[in-house]
């Protein structure tokens, strides 16, 4: 929400001033009907459901740390060396604790986190504060990488793992025009970006 959707809201409101928006953030999947929500933006592989989905873009995941952390503890030279570092993992889903790193046993490295948090924004803040290594998507950390605030770790061992980003919604007989406008706008703004530039 903060890194991709919020920067687009000004243009959407200028284009469609008659549409009222309410933005809510939640790190867990919500029931759209129960919360009376028109659509949700979901990151990652979607579970089977009665929801319709419109793909918006995809974003690459990579392992990152702050320069200050790496200066203090050193750059890991191998995937096995991660065991000697502070690894920040997700409380859920557990699949996010499988990092896209090539090693002798495969192309995903299952970490044992020394610190867990539920929110990607919390992971980012902890990494920027020098608290350890994280694995996050470019859409969240692209600007930090560009500025050098975060540095990619084990780039040569990274395997290609693109997280799909979808808008999901219930579609009855006719989709409300306000939802169609927002979906079309998001597709236009986000769909033209490559995985390397979504941040």
pLDDT interval class at 196 (50, 70, 90) = very low
Using one digit for the tens of pLDDT, what is the confidence trace for 74-127?
999 999 999 999 999 999 888 899 999 999 888 999 999 999 998 889 999 999
Interaxial angle between packed helices 177-191 and 6-15, expressed in degrees from 0 to 180 and rounded to the nearest 10: 130
Q: Are β-strands 115-117 and 150-152 bridged in parallel, bridged antiparallel, or unpaired? A: unpaired
**Mean pLDDT computed over 60-65:** 95
- 88 CB-contact burial (10 Å; exposed 0-12 / middle 13-18 / buried 19+): buried
Structure token pair of residue 170: 């219930």
pLDDT on residue 198: 40
Q: What's the Cα-to-Cα distance from 175 to each of 49, 54, 80, 164, 166, rounded to whole Å? A: 18, 13, 50, 23, 17
pLDDT on residue 70: 97
Using one digit for the tens of pLDDT, what is the confidence trace for 104-113?
888 999 999 9
What is the C-alpha to C-alpha distance for residues 139 and 8, in angstroms, rounded to an integer? 14
Confirm if 131 and 116 have CB atoms less than 8 A apart.
no
Phi-psi region of 170 (alpha: psi -120 to 50; beta: other; left: phi over 0): beta
pLDDT interval class at 29 (50, 70, 90) = low
Using one digit for the tens of pLDDT, what is the confidence trace for 124-154?
999 999 999 999 999 889 889 999 999 999 9
Using one digit for the tens of pLDDT, what is the confidence trace for 42-62?
777 776 667 778 888 888 999
pLDDT on residue 57: 84
Burial annotation 108-125 (CB, 10 A radius, 16+ → b, else e) = bbebebeeebeebbbbbe
pTM for the complete prediction?
A: 0.76
What is the C-alpha to C-alpha distance for residues 4 and 8, in angstroms, rounded to an integer? 7
**List of domains in the chain:** 6-58+164-191 (3.40.190.10), 59-157 (3.40.190.10)
């Amino acid at each position: 929400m903060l890194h991709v959707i919020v920067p687009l809201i000004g243009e959407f409101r200028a284009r469609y001033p008659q549409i009222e928006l309410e933005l809510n953030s939640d790190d867990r999947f919500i029931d759209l009907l129960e919360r009376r929500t028109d659509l949700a933006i979901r990151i990652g592989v979607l579970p089977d459901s009665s929801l319709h989905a419109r793909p918006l873009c995809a974003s690459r995941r990579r392992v990152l740390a702050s320069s200050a952390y790496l200066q203090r503890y050193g750059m890991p030279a191998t995937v096995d060396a991660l065991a000697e570092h502070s690894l920040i993992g997700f409380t859920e889903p557990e699949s996010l604790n499988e990092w896209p790193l090539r090693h002798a046993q495969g192309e995903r490295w299952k970490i044992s986190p020394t610190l867990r948090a539920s929110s990607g924004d919390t992971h980012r803040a902890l990494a920027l504060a020098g608290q350890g290594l994280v694995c996050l998507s470019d859409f969240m950390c692209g600007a930090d990488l560009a500025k050098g605030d975060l540095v990619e770790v084990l780039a040569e061992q990274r395997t290609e793992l693109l997280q799909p980003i979808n808008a999901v919604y219930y579609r009855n007989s006719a989709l409300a025009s306000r939802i169609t406008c927002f979906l079309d706008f998001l597709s236009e703004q986000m769909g033209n970006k490559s995985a390397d530039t979504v941040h």
